[in-house]
Amino acid sequence: MKPKQISPGQMLILTFGLTVGTSILVTPSGLAHVAREDAWIASLFSLFINLLLVVLYIILSRMYPGKNLFEINEAVMGKWLGKLLSLLYLFYFLILTGTLLGNLGFFLTSEMMPETPIEAVQIIFLLAAIMCARLGTVILARVSQLMFPWIVVLFLILVLALLPQIEWNHIKPVLEAGPLPPLQAGYHSAMFQELIVLLVFLPMSSGGKKAEAGFLGGTLLGAMFLAIVVVLSILVLGIEQAENATFPTYALAKTINVGNFLQRLEGILITIWICTFFIKISLLYLALLKGLEKVFGLTDTRSLITPMAVLFLLVAWHTYINTVYVADIIQRVWAGYAQLHLLLIPLALAVVGLVRTWVAKRRKGQKALP
Amino acid sequence: MKGYAWLMVILCASLAILPGCWSKKELNELAVVMALGVDLQEGGGYVVSAQVMNPSEVGSQQSGLSGNSPAVTYSAVGKTIPDALQRMLNVTPRMLYLSHMRVLVFGEEMARQGISDVLDFISRNHELRTDFYLMVAKGMDAAEILQVVTPFEHIPSSSLYSSILISNKEWAAMGKITLQQFITELDQSGSNPIMSGVELHGDPKTGNNLENVKKIKPDTMLENAGLAVFVKDRLVGWVGEAGSKATNYVLNEVEMTSGYVPCPGGGIIGVEITSARSKLEVHLDKEERPQFIVRLKTEANLDAAQCSVDLSKVESIDQISRNLEHKLTSLLEEGIHEVQRKYGADIFGFGEALHRKYPKVWEKYRERWEDSFRSMEVRVYADAEIRRIGSIVQPARREMERR
Amino acid sequence: MIWRLVLLLLVVVAGAVQIPFLLKARSMRDLVMFCIFLGITLAWLFNDLVEGPNLRPLDWIRFAMEPLKMLNPK
């Protein structure tokens, strides 16, 4: 059965949702830590790196048109090695989802509802994601289309309401420690946008070139949102407080005060993050199901939805033990681990793929001669 | 399809009621804390006072002062602030809810000890926001400040809050420091924080009583009192009215204020400053030592002419402008030098200005900025323009003398 | 602890509902996969319920990345 199609516009929105995800909550402090006042340069560099990665994925996709990530793995590396590679990716996605779930739970319970047990928040969220996984990618694409205007409007409200509180002096001195720290910080932070996930869904998108444009456009839009948030965090909060906050964007939203009238809006603005988070988790969920389907040749993965949800929760409870443990490991290890999946393996696949086609062409050429 | 419709209705209805129900706080279970006071406890620890609003007295349409006090102040002791707040639950009938806090008052002794530990709790707690004002109780404990009934505003902390807000707008000698500002200035290596001061006039014992506000001139009143200068997180001293004005001018906090200058030909003439903008500049001299310049641009109106100068002549206005410029320049320079020499505290942000423009030079000074700052050269250039002279032209005295 | 029990209940119920469905659908692979997943989750839940060793996936990743440390971006 030919899978149903998602439009290029929906592809853009899905990419946007994935890029923003939960990164929007925590990137400013991570970048501010290393790059200080130049965190905005770092986030722009991160945007640039992400665009390059997406170009790599598109090249890979064009070499094997119509194939999603897992199929490409098998096509390039052969059946068994390809399946092994796909399993690596699936494990990566699994840990990612668990950590994300933990992140959301911790955010909501430490800032808004401390009496609520984390597990309750996570289970309710997962219920929504389960429903989405059962219904499929197309439904997710349509839901995200519905959510998109709200995300944009609320974000604009956030930005516009903060403009009166900008202190331009906060961003100086520029490049105090030289250009290296922002570049390093930017590259590090680019490893946290898991755009490879969309390579699972790219073939499902109609329009060929337009779908690729949607992929790129979504990345651009999402990374721009992140860059704007980083810039505002520095300009409004100042570097000392942006660096020390556990959830800097939330602290940013708390400072909104227009004419002593429009204040205490942070509760409504959480909607932005809930929506983008939902998109990200549902995409990961669907990607995992698709991956399992491909690797093990299953006919229908719907039965696996519930056990997967339980697995997500277990991973979440065992990774997000407390914010310090997670922050420490993620700071030290995750970038390298993610780099493997986001850059090194796709690059290797592209190179091997190119070599294979080149060899095949030469063989064809030789065969055609006599 | 009908089943779906019912499901939607039920879901939407539950959406209105259920969210956050685990963490629900009903309004009649909350004691809304309007002001917090922190004092030192002998032997370590804090005495925390919380002024809680009494909603039945505040919300009523009739005169709320017939009956109970509009606010109640509870006190408790603890090794940490949350410790003290929990212990307060021994006395309070409801849970303390901190999100609506307007004012945080430190006792003077507490402020001299160092307040960074208190600030940690304030920043870490998720209920507290960053938009309340910080003040130091001059020469007394914060608890005494929170035990005064104020006229006009039912809740004393609202009165404190409004008086800071309004007077900062209209009168340059009043400082307005939010938590956000304080922490930024504290953490920045190139500046030192300040806080507004508040003091009690009269007898604290009578201030405690509702009778205090039943008189036309209350016996006990709260008054805003200058600025408190901090070096790092410790209070080191106070700045009086002139110094506070100077500080506010340099910090670009002045919106409107009033003053007077000498009138050409004797007497004084009152001026109302309607706009004031200041910029800090840094230049390096030949030996790479920083020189600071404050450029102040003001616009003013004449509001009280207590002399007999001829105000229809351009020369008079020019002369008055120049007098104003002189006055501002000397006011600012004296104010800055006083703080410089007496406390060595860079409450104006000169160090930060140096950091922003010449980061490499700043590295040399950053470790011991408080000491270096004492001998830094600061010059002020003030520029004043008189715009309007009011509804009459010639001063009343002049008209009378002309008769 | 109560949350682990909630999940246990969920897994058991899901298993009870899905297995006859899968048997009817006659796909061996789906059934095997489902049972494997069920097994993993049940094993993990039991491990938690009897207070066995705390499994931490992030530690596994850190362990696995040890030999590849030179690749780590700063």
* Residue A328 contacts C where some CB pair is shorter than 8 Å: no
Neighbours of chain A (3+ CB pairs under 8 A): B, C
**Cβ within 8 Å, pair A298-C54:** no
For every residue of B42-76, DSSP letters joined together read TTS-EEEEEEEE-HHHHH-SS-TTSSS-SEEEEEE
Taking CA atoms, what residue in C is nearest to A336?
C72
Closest CA to A342 of A237, A189, A178: A189
| Chain A residues within an 8 Å CB radius of C10 | 306, 310
Domain region containing B383: 241-403
Helix B241-250 vs helix B314-343: angle between axes, to the nearest 10 degrees? 100
**Cβ within 8 Å, pair B183-A240:** yes
Residue B108, amino acid: E
**Cβ within 8 Å, pair B180-A241:** yes
In a domain? residue A187: yes
In a domain? residue B20: no
Q: Which residues contact C30 (CB under 8 A, 6 or more apart)?
A: A298, A299, A300, A301, A303, C22
Who among C27, C38, C72 is closest to A335 (CB)? C72
Position B26 scores a pLDDT of 81
If asked whether residues B389 and B302 sit together in one domain, one would say yes
3-state DSSP assignment of residue B117: helix
**Cβ within 8 Å, pair B22-A237:** no
- Report pLDDT digits (tens) over B279-330: 888 888 888 888 899 999 999 998 888 888 888 888 888 888 999 999 999 9
3-state DSSP assignment of residue B10: helix
CB B325 within 8 A of CB B333: no
Alpha helices (runs of H) in B202-273, residue ranges in sequence order: 204-207, 241-250
CB B105 within 8 A of CB B137: yes
Count of domains forming chain A = 1
Position A200 scores a pLDDT of 87
What phi, psi does B72 have (nearest 5°)?
Answer: -125, 135
In a domain? residue B321: yes
Which helix (H) or strand (E) is B302 found in, with range?
Answer: strand B290-306
**∠ Cα A143 A146 A148 (to 5°):** 110
CA distance A192 to chain C (A): 12
**Stretch among A167-176, A307-316, A341-350 having the lowest mean pLDDT:** A167-176
CB A223 within 8 A of CB A232: no
| Chain A residues within an 8 Å CB radius of C56 | 318-319, 321
Residue B33 CA to residue B55 CA, distance in Å, equals: 11
Q: Which residues contact B55 (CB under 8 A, 6 or more apart)?
A: B32
Position C72 scores a pLDDT of 65
Please state whether at least 3 CB pairs lie below 8 Å between chains A and B: yes
Name the CA dihedral angle for A126, A132, A137, A141, rounded to a multiple of 10 degrees. -100
Question: Which of the residues in chain B have pLDDT under 70?
Answer: 1, 57-67
Indicate the pTM of the whole model.
0.85
| Chain C residues within an 8 Å CB radius of A311 | 37, 40-41, 44
Whose tokens are 């600025």? That residue is: B227
C-alpha distance from residue B29 to each of A117, A357, B55 (Å): 21, 72, 12
If asked whether residues B256 and B232 sit together in one domain, one would say no
Using omega within 30 degrees of 0 as the cis cutoff, is the peptide bond preceding A173 cis?
yes
In a domain? residue B374: yes
**Cβ within 8 Å, pair B23-A112:** yes
Neighbours of chain C (3+ CB pairs under 8 A): A
3-state DSSP assignment of residue B36: strand
If asked whether residues B150 and B52 sit together in one domain, one would say yes
In a domain? residue A3: no
- Report pLDDT digits (tens) over A316-348: 988 888 878 888 888 888 888 888 888 888 888
Q: Which residues contact A76 (CB under 8 A, 6 or more apart)?
A: A64, A82, A349, A352, A353, A356
| Chain B residues within an 8 Å CB radius of A234 | none
Residue A71, amino acid: E
**For B320, what's the count of Cα atoms within 13 Å in the CB-facing half-sphere?**
35
Residue B9 CA to residue B26 CA, distance in Å, equals: 25
| DSSP-assigned letter for residue B178 | B
A residues 131-190 near C, CB within 8 Å?
A: 184, 187-188
Position A288 scores a pLDDT of 92
**Cβ within 8 Å, pair B356-A254:** no
| Residue from B15, B125, B131 whose CB has the most chain A CBs within 10 Å, to mutate | B131
- Residue pairs spanning A and C at CB distance below 8 A: 109
CB A244 within 8 A of CB A256: no
CATH number at residue B294: 3.30.300.210
Domain ranges of chain C: 2-71
* Region C35-42 average pLDDT: 88
Rounded to two decimals, the ipTM of the complex is 0.88
Count of domains forming chain B = 2
CA distance C47 to chain A (A): 11
Position A54 scores a pLDDT of 92
Q: String of b and e for A235-271 (b: at least 16 CB within 10 Å)?
A: bbbbbbbbbbbbbbbbbbbbbbbeeeeeeebbeebbe
CB B259 within 8 A of CB B270: yes
Please state whether at least 3 CB pairs lie below 8 Å between chains C and A: yes
Domain region containing A231: 8-368
Instruction: Give yes or no for residue A366 having a pLDDT over 80.
Output: no
* Residue A145 contacts B where some CB pair is shorter than 8 Å: no
In a domain? residue B31: yes
Closest CA to B231 of B347, B351, B365, B376: B347
In a domain? residue A1: no
Q: Which residues contact A228 (CB under 8 A, 6 or more apart)?
A: A159
**Stretch among A16-20, A63-67, A271-275 having the lowest mean pLDDT:** A63-67
If asked whether residues B286 and B338 sit together in one domain, one would say yes
C-alpha distance from residue B220 to each of A303, B104, B201 (Å): 75, 20, 5
| Chain C residues within an 8 Å CB radius of A300 | 25, 27, 30
Chain C residues with a Cβ under 8 Å from any Cβ in chain A:
3, 6-7, 10-11, 14, 18, 21-22, 25, 27, 29-30, 33-34, 37-38, 40-41, 44-45, 48, 54-59, 61-62, 64-65, 68-69, 71-74
Position A1 scores a pLDDT of 42
**Stretch among A355-359, A364-368, B212-216 having the lowest mean pLDDT:** A364-368
| Residue from A31, A45, A303 whose CB has the most chain C CBs within 10 Å, to mutate | A303
**Cβ within 8 Å, pair A336-C38:** no
In a domain? residue B6: no
Tokens of B137: 């109780």
Domain boundary among B206, B239, B272: B239
Who among A188, A300, A325 is closest to C73 (CB)? A188
Alpha helices (runs of H) in chain A, residue ranges in sequence order: 8-20, 23-35, 39-63, 69-77, 79-107, 118-135, 137-162, 180-190, 209-232, 239-244, 248-254, 266-296, 305-319, 323-329, 335-339, 345-368
Instruction: Give yes or no for residue A369 having a pLDDT over 60.
Output: no
CATH number at residue A335: 1.20.1740.10
**Cβ within 8 Å, pair C61-A95:** yes
R_g over Cα of chain B: 26
Closest CA to A239 of B185, B290, B7, B320: B185
- Report pLDDT digits (tens) over C47-64: 888 877 777 888 888 888
In a domain? residue B360: yes
Q: Which residues contact B358 (CB under 8 A, 6 or more apart)?
A: B282, B284, B290
* Region A11-40 average pLDDT: 86
If asked whether residues B218 and B281 sit together in one domain, one would say no
If asked whether residues B44 and B105 sit together in one domain, one would say yes
Strands B377-386 and B133-137: unpaired
Residue B295 CA to residue B249 CA, distance in Å, equals: 10
| Chain A residues within an 8 Å CB radius of C52 | none
* Region A21-37 average pLDDT: 83
In a domain? residue A14: yes
Domain boundary among B213, B239, B265: B239
If asked whether residues B230 and B88 sit together in one domain, one would say yes
Helices and strands (H, E) in chain B, number of each type: 15, 13
Who among B22, B129, B359 is closest to A173 (CB)? B359
Q: Which residues contact A28 (CB under 8 A, 6 or more apart)?
A: A39, A229, A230, A233, A234, A242, A245, A248, A249, A252
- Report pLDDT digits (tens) over A122-142: 998 898 999 999 888 889 999
Instruction: Give yes or no for residue A268 having a pLDDT over 90.
Output: no
Strands B30-40 and B46-53: antiparallel
If asked whether residues B227 and B248 sit together in one domain, one would say no
**Cβ within 8 Å, pair C29-A296:** yes
Position B49 scores a pLDDT of 92
What phi, psi does B272 have (nearest 5°)?
Answer: -115, 115
A residues 226-265 near B, CB within 8 Å?
A: 237-238, 240-241, 244, 251, 254-255, 257, 263-264
**Cβ within 8 Å, pair C56-A318:** yes
Residue A358 CA to residue A153 CA, distance in Å, equals: 49
CB A242 within 8 A of CB A234: yes
Residue A112 CA to residue B280 CA, distance in Å, equals: 40
In a domain? residue B294: yes
Residue A193 CA to residue A187 CA, distance in Å, equals: 11
Query: CA B155 from chain center: how many Å?
Result: 18
Tokens of A127: 């219920």
Whose tokens are 């277990």? That residue is: A314
In a domain? residue B9: no
**Cβ within 8 Å, pair B22-A116:** yes
CA distance C15 to chain A (A): 9
If asked whether residues B67 and B200 sit together in one domain, one would say yes
* Region A143-147 average pLDDT: 92
CB A266 within 8 A of CB A343: no
Who among B130, B183, B352 is closest to A255 (CB)? B130
Who among C10, C33, C65 is closest to A304 (CB)? C33
C-alpha distance from residue A40 to each of A165, A174, A182, A342, C63 (Å): 18, 10, 8, 23, 33
In a domain? residue A2: no
CB A141 within 8 A of CB A282: no
| DSSP-assigned letter for residue B222 | E
Residue B248, amino acid: N
| Residue from A118, A130, A306, A332 whose CB has the most chain C CBs within 10 Å, to mutate | A306
**Cβ within 8 Å, pair A336-C62:** no
